[in-house]
Structure 1
Amino acid sequence: MAGQSNAASVIIKRKKIIKGGGHHGGAWKVAYADFVTAMMAFFLLMWLLNATTEKQRKGLSDYFSPTIAINRVSAGGEGSLGGESIFSEDTRAKSGTGGSSDQKGASSGSAKDIMADEGTADLREIEKELLDRGGESRTMEQLLRHVVTRVTDEGLVIELYDLENAPLFTNDTAEPTPVTLALAGLLVEVLGLTTNKMAVNGYLRSYPVTLRNSPVWDLSSARAQRMRLLMEAAGLPSTRMERVSGYADRKPVTADGAAIRNNRLEVILLRQDR
């Protein structure tokens, strides 16, 4: 036993072996799935941009735009009416408190704003009714390629313009093409949902200055008048037409005044609150 006391002590080392998670576990599958989803969304977007018209793309954009519903007459101390309705003056009169002259002025002004908002909402409804026709058929979609709309202080402006190889009138005349005849019928059908007064404006591209007699004034007026006649023939009451004007080449919509895009008509659904 004494001889073994000088023997070297035995040291046992235990190593902790950590096994790897294979191919980084399952995280790569999640990343790959996200990548595939993103690529699918990207190619879907590319397909939509190629397969839809400008009006349809605008409709998709409006559909996904955030909107906030606003109650025109609401309680509380915030908002355009300061917690009062447009009938606040009637309430004060019944309770014997009355209203100050300043309050009456503010109330009438708010009511006017509300009427203006309602007028704009009506115009937007007519605009939507017109543009939604593009989804009915391929023919209607081709017609609406000539149409651009916007709501202004004057009313709903429906702009009809020439396309390359698809003009609204034959050459330099006021003779309408089948496209214009179809557009006139479509406008009467949609605008017949209202009783607002209307106006028609005619515009032309600029002609070379070397022409001895430029036709822009007479021709722009003649085309506007022809559109009026076409709409009346399609069923529009003549009493609804407020004015017909020709602006020649004085208001181009492109930097190049001679561009075909400047050959256009504006059919305006006028506001009733003006």
Structure 2
Amino acid sequence: MAKSDEERPIIVVKKIKKGGHGHHGGAWKIAYADFVTAMMAFFLLMWLLGSTSEGDLKGISDYFNSPLKVALVGGPGSGTATSVIDAGGTDLSRSVGQIKSGSTDKATNSSTSDATAEALERAESKRLLELKGEIEGLIDASDLMKQFKNQIMLDITPEGLRIQIVDERNRPMFDSGSAVLKGYMKDILRNLTKLLNQVPNKLTLSGHTDATPYAAGNKGYSNWELSADRANASRREMYTAGMPDQKILRVVGLASSVSLDEKDPYAAVNRRIAIVVMNKRAEEAVRALANLDDGQDPGLIELPPVPKVEGLPFPKNGSSTN
């Protein structure tokens, strides 16, 4: 047995332990990953805050201020509740809800109505400019109207299209101190009426005089009454020419309070009839001033009667040139 043991070969097993290559300092990668994650969260938060409405932000704030309350109330969001459990107290979550669609709908409707109003104003401005061009074309094409080209002034104002028919020294629209239209003034108004009837806009008429005091007729009758009577005489002529009475929203007399030639208040151009084809905004302002509902027939907005005043001083000599 001893001999056989000696003859058995000796086997040596070597186990090699593989060692690592050492640490290469990879901690910066973890810090960088944390930094990138934080930046992504920050920009995500900024995007959410920028795209969230004020009502939603209030709902989220209410949730974190009283999470137990909202959890008990339930519902698909902090603005609505479908649970039958009532937590009691004041329901802050319902003041401005997370899914409160009313505020969003109002904002959408408001922006839509604003865009519609702007589109309507642009269309109306275009229509008034076209009307101005048509009147200018009528003046150039008509032998009758061409004679009075220098007495018809057209311009666009914040109220709409303004048409002013002014006096010339040797060709007045009315006799001195009178509200009776001259024949050619009637022709001008009739021709204008045909074009003005083609647009739906309302009109205002105003009469103007120069600064010469009225020195004829009854005491108490002044340039205010004279200018109003001349404006109303123009309205009657346009009505005779086919203009619906409800198309004219206002008729006023302004005497010499709004002079066309401010340097010379006695100039002939200050004696005039002004017709304004109003835009919608100006029409609403006039209706608000007169306390009229939209669609109500305004008729003629008359000034209160002026009482007769005895002993009112007037120039003793001379006559009015108004």
TM over 0.5: yes
C-alpha contact 2:203 2:247 (8 A) present in aligned 1? yes
Deviation for aligned residue 1:100? 7.4
Show structure 1 runs of 4+ deviating over 4 A: 99-104, 208-214
Taking the aligned partners of 1:169 and 1:210, their CA distance within structure 2 comes to: 16
* Counterpart contact for 1:207–1:214, Cα < 8 Å: no
1:120 aligns with 2:128: no
* 1:224 corresponds to 2:226: no
Q: CA deviation at 1:103?
A: 5.5
- After superposition, the CA RMSD in angstroms is 2.3
* From 133, 137, 142, the counterpart of 2:138: 133
Q: In terms of Rg, which structure is larger? A: 2
* Map of 1:144 onto structure 2: 149
8 Å CA contact 1:224, 1:245 repeated in 2: yes
Residue in 1 aligned with 2:251?
Answer: 244
Cross-structure match for 2:178: 173
CA 1:209 to 1:248, structure 2 compared with 1: closer, same or farther past 3 Å? closer
- Shift in Å, 1:217: 0.6
Flag structure 2 segments of 5+ consecutive residues without an equivalent: 1-103, 285-322
Relative distance call for 1:165 and 1:210 in structure 2 (3 A) is: closer
Alignment CA distance shift 1:272-1:208 (3 Å): closer
The structure-2 alpha-carbon separation of the partners of 1:208 and 1:198, relative to structure 1 and needing over 3 Å to count, comes to closer
Q: Please, which runs of 5 or more residues in structure 1 have no aligned partner?
A: 1-98
Q: Secondary structure of 1:269's match?
A: strand
Q: What's the counterpart of residue 9 of structure 1?
A: none
> 2-side partners of 1:101 and 1:235: how far apart?
44
With structure 1 as the length reference, what TM-score do the two structures score?
Answer: 0.59
8 Å Cα contact 1:173-1:219 kept in structure 2: yes
Distance in 2 (CA, whole Å) between partners of 1:137 and 1:200 is: 24
Cα separation, partners in 2 of 1:101 and 1:192, compared to 1, 3 Å: closer
1:97-112 to structure 2, matched below 5 A, reads: 104-112=109-117
TM-score (norm 2): 0.51
**Are the aligned partners of 1:146 and 1:162 in contact in 2 as well (CA < 8 Å)?**
yes
Q: Is the 8 A contact 1:120 1:151 kept in 2?
A: no
**One-letter identity of the residue aligned with 2:191:** L
Matching residue of 1:260: 268
Contact 2:177–2:214 under 8 Å retained in 1: no
CA deviations over 1:95-137 (Å, ceiling 9, x no partner): xxxx776555444323222211111111111111111012214
| Alignment check: 8 A CA contact 2:206 2:251 kept | yes
Distance 1:112 1:173 in 2: 44
Percent of residue pairs bearing the same amino acid type: 23
Q: CA deviation at 1:197?
A: 1.5
